[in-house]
């Protein structure tokens, strides 16, 4: 299993659930890496879903693709990255109708960004299901230069844009789909604690 119990935190931090089949006219499932396992689980719970399902999957080096394809969804797309898949996602949402159910699963960065697209298309965030699977890496925004660093695994880390040493906060932005990174050595430049892996 690829599940991880996140520790309790501040209210800003997103809380993820467990995907469940819901009644709907059509279903859109978006996953990366181990998120595929959650989709396989949905298909076991309700095999009839797949006839009305569009799966958008980003393997990130895993080999779940064949298993997902074998579910025989109405549409299946595999993309090399989220950025490469977002055009298709927008196109699907643009042409979607009320009654579409959205299921997001995998890493926080993927779920956050896809949720943002779905919200902009008119779905309330409370109606979008999420389930975390796989890597606990975070998508971080540097509050100083506003640059985004993907897949951050340590705290502190170095901003990939401006090079500042950033402290990983639980303060999250739904609009940016990113956590906030704040300079850790502003008052005493160079005094940076040893980076630690997240949640260790």
Taking CB under 8 A as the criterion, the residue among 1, 5, 11, 23 binding another protein is 23
- Our finding on whether 99 is near another protein (CB under 8 A) is yes
State yes or no: residue 93 binds another protein (CB under 8 A): yes
* CA–CA dist 135, 118 (Å, integer): 23
The span of 74-82, 117-125, 147-155, 187-195 binding another protein (CB under 8 A) equals 117-125
| Binding of another protein by 101 (CB under 8 A) | yes
Cβ–Cβ under 8 Å, residues 151 and 22: no
> Which of these segments, 4-12, 19-27, 105-113, 171-179, binds another protein (CB under 8 A)?
19-27
CA-CA-CA-CA dihedral for 61, 86, 29, 146, to nearest 10:
80
On whether the CB atoms of residues 157 and 149 are closer than 8 A, the answer is: yes
* Residue among 169, 65, 61, 172 nearest 109 (CA): 172
Nearer to another protein, 46 or 151 (CB): 46
**Spatial strand order in the sheet of 178-183:** 148-152, 138-142, 178-183, 165-173, 157-158
- Helices 82-94 and 108-120 meet at what angle, rounded to 10? 30
Q: Which listed residue (40, 121, 143, 145) binds another protein by CB under 8 A?
A: 121
For another protein, the closer of residues 9 and 45 by Cβ is 45
Per CB under 8 A, does 11 bind another protein? no
User: Binding of another protein at residue 193 (CB under 8 A)?
Assistant: no
| The dihedral sign for the CA sequence 13, 17, 19, 23 | negative
Determine if 22 is a binding residue for another protein (CB under 8 A).
Answer: yes
Q: Which one of 3, 12, 25, 193 is in contact with another protein (CB under 8 A)?
A: 25
Q: Collapsing DSSP states into helix, strand and coil, what is residue 57?
A: strand
Nearest-approach distance from CB 1 to another protein, in angstroms: 29
Among 30, 49, 71, 96, binds another protein (CB under 8 A): 96
Q: Rounded to the nearest 5°, which phi and psi values hold at 183?
A: -55, 125
# residues contacting another protein (CB under 8 A): 17
Q: Please report, as ranges, the residues that interact with another protein according to CB under 8 A.
A: 22-25, 93, 96-101, 121-124, 126-127
């Amino acid at each position: 299993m690829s599940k991880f119990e996140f520790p309790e935190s501040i209210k800003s931090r997103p809380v993820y659930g467990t995907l469940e089949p819901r009644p709907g006219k059509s279903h859109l499932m978006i996953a990366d890496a181990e998120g595929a396992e959650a989709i396989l689980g949905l298909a076991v719970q309700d095999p009839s879903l797949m006839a009305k399902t569009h799966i958008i999957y980003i393997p990130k080096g895993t080999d779940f693709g064949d298993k997902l394809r074998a579910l025989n969804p109405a549409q299946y797309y595999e993309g090399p990255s989220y950025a490469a898949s977002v055009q298709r996602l927008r196109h699907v949402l643009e042409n979607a109708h009320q009654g579409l159910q959205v299921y997001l699963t995998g890493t926080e960065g993927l779920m956050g960004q896809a949720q943002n697209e779905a919200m902009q298309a008119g779905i309330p965030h409370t109606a979008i299901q999420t389930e975390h699977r796989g890597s606990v890496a975070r998508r971080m925004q540097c509050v100083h230069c506003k640059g985004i660093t993907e897949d951050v695994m340590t705290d502190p880390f170095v901003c990939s844009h401006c090079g500042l040493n950033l402290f990983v906060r639980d303060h999250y932005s739904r609009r940016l789909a990113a956590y906030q990174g704040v300079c850790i050595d502003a008052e005493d430049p160079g005094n940076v604690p040893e980076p630690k892996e997240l949640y260790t």
